[in-house]
Structure 1
């Protein structure tokens, strides 16, 4: 996980619970991926009322996840943008309360749902991507014996490699946005 200015490090279970709301996590994701938008634009996209999206955007702003976009296209509209690219938290810190564990669990479930939705979208559209992307895309699993310290180091190295490759590909017209998911959980026995 990245621990720089692009990352909102949540330490308050209330803040994680605030973003863990099903609509709020979708609004934040849309602002992060697609850029600034109005409550009305987001309402249309998600089939909600603009009053509802406006309320949830204000709640996200209250906890520091979003802010009004300082580069408004029109003085009459209120555009919102994500403040950070990533959200992270310490499982140990957040998991100290039932509320924190519930919020963290919801966020992990949401990440899994996003992974599945992106995989399904790729499968539906695979022919439009061309052979290079079809060959490069995919997922895999691995099993390794690691210490907690090694696993944390692995997260940091993967994040550093992603940033390095993103910088190297920044000007390449063949570059596309790629949703990356990295999950690692200790197991004592194979489940299912």
Structure 2
């Protein structure tokens, strides 16, 4: 029996210590998995996900817990097994004008983009091994728009609304046959 939890919301991280702790490929992968799925996992289960030993993964889970990003979940059995869960449904970074926080934010963003662009490159390197259906459904787009800051906020909110019903943690029980997890990368920023 699992403990009822309130609906989780995303958090904004502005503390440079938290950003530096999170700017590690294994920790980013752990957080992505736990926050996007709502899963409750052991260090051993997580180890396969991040390609590390269970003891190294346990260390990373404890480090994430120090900063309140994950927590121990109620035991699933006899209490000997240590299970972990995310404390948030996602996170964003920023909001500080301090140089130390801005440097930590940049390091975290660099780690995040490096990880995700590696996955993007991997897909395009192996896409020819995928079914025609998945190749044709996948997309890489780039568009230029002319928007005010208010219009850009409106576009971003509309994109969030379109994607929300398809989030991994919200699709339980209604997943269509043949469905797979799909990464969506979306960035909006002014270019001069």
TM-score normalised by the shorter chain: which range applies?
0.7 to 0.9
2:120 paired residue number: 119
Work out whether 1:137 is the aligned partner of 2:131. no
2:3 paired residue number: none
Deviations 1:107-145 (A, max 9, x none): 222332233222233235434542221111121111122
Q: In structure 1, what is the Cα distance between the partners aligned to 2:191 and 2:92?
A: 22
TM normalised by structure 2 equals 0.77
Q: Is the 8 A contact 2:27 2:60 kept in 1?
A: yes
Runs of 4+ displaced beyond 6 Å: none
1:29 is aligned, of 27, 32, 35, to 32
TM normalised by structure 1 equals 0.77
Unaligned runs of at least 5 residues, structure 1: none
Listed as ranges, the matches of 1:30-179 within 5 Å are 30-32=33-35, 35-43=39-47, 45-73=49-77, 75-89=79-93, 91=94, 93-94=95-96, 96-127=97-128, 129-165=130-166, 170-179=174-183
Q: In structure 2, what is the Cα distance between the partners aligned to 1:130 and 1:58?
A: 40
**CA offset at residue 33 of structure 1?**
5.3
Q: In structure 2, what is the Cα distance between the partners aligned to 1:121 and 1:135?
A: 17
Q: Is the 8 A contact 1:17 1:99 kept in 2?
A: no
Unaligned runs of at least 5 residues, structure 2: 1-6
**CA offset at residue 55 of structure 1?**
2.9
Deviations 1:138-178 (A, max 9, x none): 21111122222222222221111101355689332232211
Q: In structure 2, what is the Cα distance between the partners aligned to 1:115 and 1:17?
A: 18
SS class of match (1:9):
strand
